[in-house]
Amino acid sequence: MSNANNSLERVQASLARRYRAERRFVWYGRLAVMFALLFVVILFTDIISKGAGAFRLTYARLDITFDPALIGVNDLSDRAVVAAGDWDSLVKTAARARFDGVSGRKAKRELNALFSSGAGYDLKDLLLENPAWLGQTKSLWLLVDDDIDTYFKSRLDGEAYAARVSERQIDWIDQLVEDGDMELRFNQTFFTRGDSREPEQAGIRGALVGSLFTLLVAFCLSFPIGVGAAVYLEEFAPKSRWTEFIEVNINNLAAVPSIIFGMLGLAVFINFFGVPRSIPLLGGMVLTLMTLPTIIITSRAAIKSVPPSIREAALGMGASRHQVVLHHVLPLALPGMLTGAIIGMAQALGETAPLLMIGMIAFIVDVPTGMMDTATVLPVQIFLWSDSPERAFVEKTSAAIMVLLGFLIVMNMAAVLIRKRLERRW
């Protein structure tokens, strides 16, 4: 009797401590979830706050006189002459006319440094589009240099970053702003051009097109092969050591570090088969090998979810096993397989390391036009820009990340939608 009382007392005495432990434990769990979710928020705000500025660029307005004597071009149809023309002098002359009293080498150099080094070529393109302008004076918006762009944007935010601009340049900028001749405009360049050493002229078009070609190759190879392998393993494979060996291989490949696939591409595709470096075809092949395990595993799950009664009914009607698979199992499993393929492609779109190994890291200005053109891809472009010392590239990098994340979100949403719309619950 006293013994029972004793243990009851002991339990009751410990209850407060045990409940405290219980509450503490729940709080650890809550904190863990909160921390992880908080991090998602921090990451996105950090990237967006850094990159939002890159979608707008600073432009300055100048009165440009397309003087044939100045550029040394009289006939716009002669390509060689046009290419040799002194287009920069258009900008220089117009700038000197805009601000009077600029004398001395240093001042002139600083004045020219206000504008992007590509501004002259932009004017050339404009003139080629409107040949009638030759000899006329037009008021045009020109790209400014990235240091000026950074200064102007930081000034608008209230905290001017003037480390890379001179007093004189600030005076000129003040004048331009006062006359309404300097403003932020939508950054078209970012979406229409390839890479450049000058941040204000750099765009992601080249990388986007490269990513598109690479993914196209990867999808065209990995989806049929992945589905084929999944069908074989689920529907036809005998229970043998060989089959088991294949399964072990697939599961292991899914966990092999991606950089190893890059080494495989380098040693086998480039050095043995002599495939040229840096092309989307090669990138696509390497990414195919990398995403295949994912696609095979999800496709197998999709095939497994088709109930056996469907197969039995079809077999009962006299269909062969191949007909059962082709006419019944595959159509029913397709949404699940597509979901898996899209998730695999999203993984491939964000992959960087193996592509570094096969040389897709080269500096490429031109937008690729085919599978065999040298190209780079979006994540590699992000890596390249993040390595650049210019401050303006930080903004570009974040903006490119936003574009990449945007694509990933769209792909994942598509996967979820396909699953919700088309997948049947049995």
Partner 1 sequence: MELNSTALSILILAAVAFYLARGRSLTAARQLGGIRHLHSLPVYYGMQAALWCGLPGLILLGAWFAFSGPLINGWVMAGVAEQSATLTGSGYNLTLAKITNVAAGVLPVDSVDPVIAAAAQNMQSLREQGNSFVSYGLVALSLLGLLWGWQLVSPEHRARHGVEKVFQLLLLGCACLAILTTLGIVLSVLFESIQFFETVPISEFVFGSNWSPQTAIRVDQVGSSGAFGAIPLFTGTLLISAVAMVVAVPIGLMSAIYLAEYADRRFRDYAKPSLEILAGIPTVVYGFFAALTVAPFVRDVGSSIGLSVSSESALAAGGVMGIMIIPFISSLADDVITAVPQSLRDGSLAMGATRSETVRRVVIPAALPGIVGGVLLAVSRAIGETMIVVMAAGLAARLTANPLESVTTVTVQMVTLLVGDQEFDSPKTLAAFALGLMLFITTLMLNVVALYVVKKYREQYE
- Per CB under 8 A, which of residues 336..365 are in contact with partner 1? 346, 349-353, 356-357, 361
Task: Work out which of 8, 9, 39, 97 binds partner 1, going by CB under 8 A.
Answer: 39
As measured in angstroms, the least distance from the Cβ of 93 to partner 1 is 40
Whose Cβ is closer to partner 1: residue 166's or residue 252's?
A: 252
The yes or no reply on residue 52 touching partner 1 (CB under 8 A) is no
Whose Cβ is closer to partner 1: residue 112's or residue 412's?
A: 412
As measured in angstroms, the least distance from the Cβ of 346 to partner 1 is 7
3-state secondary structure of 115: strand
User: According to CB under 8 A, which residues from 302 to 341 bind partner 1?
Assistant: 320-322
Strand runs labelled E in 41-146: 56-65, 137-143
The yes or no reply on residue 383 touching partner 1 (CB under 8 A) is yes
Nearest to 128 by CA among 199, 62, 76, 169: 76
Classify residue 144 by its DSSP letter. B
Q: How many residues belong to the site for partner 1 (CB under 8 A)?
A: 85
As measured in angstroms, the least distance from the Cβ of 373 to partner 1 is 16
The yes or no reply on residue 231 touching partner 1 (CB under 8 A) is yes
As measured in angstroms, the least distance from the Cβ of 238 to partner 1 is 11
As measured in angstroms, the least distance from the Cβ of 234 to partner 1 is 10
Where do we find the tokens 């550029």? Answer: 71
The binding track of 164-193 with respect to partner 1, each residue x by CB under 8 A or -, is: ------------------------------
Task: Work out which of 53, 199, 206, 226 binds partner 1, going by CB under 8 A.
Answer: 226
Q: What is the CA radius of gyration of the chain?
A: 31
Classify residue 367 by its DSSP letter. P
The yes or no reply on residue 26 touching partner 1 (CB under 8 A) is yes
CA dihedral 303, 306, 311, 314 (to 10 degrees): -110
Determine which helix (DSSP H) or strand (DSSP E) holds 185, and give its type and residue range: strand 182-186
| Rounded Cα gap, residues 114 and 58, in angstroms | 11
Long-range contacts of 169-176 (CB under 8 A, 24+ apart): 169/110, 169/111, 169/113, 169/114, 172/99, 172/111, 172/114, 173/114, 173/148, 175/99, 176/60, 176/61
User: According to CB under 8 A, which residues from 241 to 300 bind partner 1?
Assistant: 245-246, 248-253, 255-261, 263-264, 266-268, 271-274, 289, 292-293, 296
